[in-house]
Amino acid sequence: MRLRVVFFIGLWLPFMASAGNLPTPEQGPVLRLQGSNTIGAALGPALVRGLMEDQGLLKVSAEITGRDNEQRIVGQTADGRRVEVDIAAHGSSTGFTALKQGNADLAASSRPIKDSELKELSSLGDLKTPTAEQVIAIDGLAIILHPQNPLRQLDTVQLARIFSGEAKTWEAVGSVGGPIHLYARDEQSGTYDTFKELVLGRQGKRLDPSAQRFESSEQLSDAVSQDPQGIGFIGLPYVRQAKALAIVDGGSQPMLPLNNLIATEDYPLSRRLFFYLPPQATNPWAEALVAFTQSEQGQTIVAANGFIAQTIQAMAVTPNALMPEGYQALSRHAQRLSVNFRFEEGSASLDNKAHQDLGRVLDYIKQHGKTDRRVTLVGFGDAKDDPARADLLSKLRAMAVRRELVKYGVALREVRGFGALMPVAANSEDEGRVRNRRVEVWVY
């Protein structure tokens, strides 16, 4: 029997898993996973295969069901029993509907659960608790063009004008090429929900009805890469042969969907991918898949499928003249970890992902001998009428992270606040303000 340890909400919880530990019914699937196409097309099946192999199952493979965007992963126990996991990937909202109808044990979503869905599923328990809402990976929503389109960057206001149909030609956004052809995911897609929230909704606009809609991410990407006048939005692993644009949001610098910018969620169109595990309708295979996904082995599978794993890494930051002098000095002498701590909206409390990341950061600090004054925390915030208040709040957020690290024996070198400097998103909407309220971790 193997002992796997998984970090949740500041505590180490043991999770026992072995080939003989999970039930295998005589017939029917042991697990039903439904929801996001972004997750369910390739990442979800890969994680399920990894779990099955970790459990000691034999002959693990995928079977075609004959239904679009659905597949079955099968394995065999040592005594020859068949084990099945059914995966349906028709969009994030379908996962929550399936939970409500009792047709799924675990929902995959490429957006946070909506308040309306949370209310409808209340009989299954609170799906916003840290153990129910599991961030499994970070994705970047790439804006893609034909490889020969000369355009290099767009801001989120221009994107909203393009996809709402207000800007109808490439010339209207400073490029060349004539009429713009729009490509978008379908209404059930979490990718579409994310784009609608981060781009269209913030400008009070709706998607142009002329946009061609796709349930499949791969098909959308391939269509754009073959259309010199095309533009679309897609999850990071599905850029394929298309060209990704740099994106500007508010006062941010232009950012390409690069791994380090997505890992820290600085890239304007970065997003979290989720598993939602109902607290009151637990399935041991669902619990095992969540725990496996959060493990180092599971996060390796996340990275292998083109998403950004939550594994902590140190990265060098090149100083530039747009940075405050104190930040430039920090970047010359220290390295930044590939995670930002963020907070619940309207609160100084760490959000669910931050609770999970505390364990990962602590592991990194201890494994690399950084517990004794080798760590600096840097806080940022959204703009306030009083800059001194913004400075204070940014430092208080860093102090909130400091309190958690000190509990586990980490003596910090310094805690700093840079106020509203270096925004990564526009401060005009709640979403942007939440993204700007962040704490970076630097190590010497």
Give the model's pLDDT for residue 7. Answer: 36
Taking only the tens place, the pLDDT of each residue in 301-352 is 999 998 999 999 999 999 999 899 999 999 999 999 999 999 877 667 889 9
Would you place residue 5 in the very low, low, confident or very high pLDDT band (cuts 50, 70, 90)? very low
Mean pLDDT of the chain: 91
Q: Is the pLDDT of residue 8 over 50?
A: no
Give the model's pLDDT for residue 9. Answer: 35
Contact 73, 61 (CB under 8 A): yes
Contact 270, 353 (CB under 8 A): no
120 and 46, same domain (yes or no): yes
286 assigned to some structural domain: yes
Determine the longest span between alpha carbons in the chain, in angstroms: 70
> Shortest CA distance to 298 belongs to which of 94, 11, 17?
17
Better-scored residue on pLDDT, 74 or 24: 74
Taking only the tens place, the pLDDT of each residue in 176-189 is 999 999 999 999 89
Q: Is the pLDDT of residue 175 over 60?
A: yes
266 assigned to some structural domain: no
Domain termination site, one of 261, 287, 321: 261
Give the model's pLDDT for residue 135. Answer: 97
Whole-model pTM: value is: 0.83
324 and 354, same domain (yes or no): yes
Q: Work out the percent of the chain whose per-residue pLDDT is above 90.
A: 81
127 and 169, same domain (yes or no): no
Give the model's pLDDT for residue 430. Answer: 76
267 assigned to some structural domain: no
What's the CATH number where 219 sits?
3.40.190.10
424 and 330, same domain (yes or no): yes
177 assigned to some structural domain: yes
> Shortest CA distance to 161 belongs to which of 206, 128, 197, 95?
206
292 and 332, same domain (yes or no): no
268 assigned to some structural domain: no
269 assigned to some structural domain: no
d(CA 159, CA 166): 10
Give the model's pLDDT for residue 20. Answer: 53
Taking only the tens place, the pLDDT of each residue in 49-103 is 999 999 999 999 999 899 999 999 999 999 999 999 999 999 999 999 999 999 9
Question: What Å distances lie between residue 416 and 164, 200, 234, 412, CA to CA?
Answer: 41, 35, 36, 11
Q: Is the pLDDT of residue 129 over 90?
A: yes
Taking only the tens place, the pLDDT of each residue in 354-401 is 999 999 999 999 999 999 999 999 999 888 878 888 889 899 999 999
Taking only the tens place, the pLDDT of each residue in 88-101 is 999 999 999 999 99
378 assigned to some structural domain: yes
Q: Is the pLDDT of residue 12 over 50?
A: no
What's the CATH number where 355 sits?
3.30.1330.60
Contact 244, 142 (CB under 8 A): yes
- At 362 the three-state DSSP class reads helix
426 and 362, same domain (yes or no): yes
| Residue count of the chain | 444
Print the domain residue range for 48: 2-132+277-304
Count of structural domains, the chain: 3
d(CA 134, CA 95): 14
242 and 359, same domain (yes or no): no
> Shortest CA distance to 244 belongs to which of 267, 210, 273, 214?
267
| Segments in 177-238 forming alpha helices (H) | 190-195, 217-225
Q: Is the pLDDT of residue 429 over 80?
A: no
| 84 DSSP β-pair partners | 74
Determine which of 8-22, 106-120, 132-146 has the lowest per-residue pLDDT on average. Answer: 8-22
Would you place residue 27 in the very low, low, confident or very high pLDDT band (cuts 50, 70, 90)? confident
36 and 127, same domain (yes or no): yes
Dig out the tokens for 338 from the structure.
């590939």
75 and 36, same domain (yes or no): yes
**Which are the contacts of 305, defined by CB distance < 8 A and separation ≥ 6?**
42, 43, 46, 237
The one-character DSSP state at 135 is E
**Which are the contacts of 166, defined by CB distance < 8 A and separation ≥ 6?**
205
Strands (E), 121-209: 133-145, 153-155, 181-185
Give the model's pLDDT for residue 383. Answer: 83
337 and 299, same domain (yes or no): no
> Shortest CA distance to 414 belongs to which of 379, 375, 387?
375
d(CA 286, CA 308): 22
252 and 281, same domain (yes or no): no
Burial class (CB in 10 A: 0-12, 13-18, 19+), 112: buried
Q: Is the pLDDT of residue 193 over 60?
A: yes
Give the model's pLDDT for residue 346. Answer: 62
Distance of CA 355 to the CA centre of its chain: 15
165 and 73, same domain (yes or no): no
Would you place residue 25 in the very low, low, confident or very high pLDDT band (cuts 50, 70, 90)? confident
d(CA 223, CA 233): 12
Domain termination site, one of 198, 231, 261: 261
358 assigned to some structural domain: yes
Q: What angle do CA 111, 439, 387 make, to 5 degrees?
A: 110
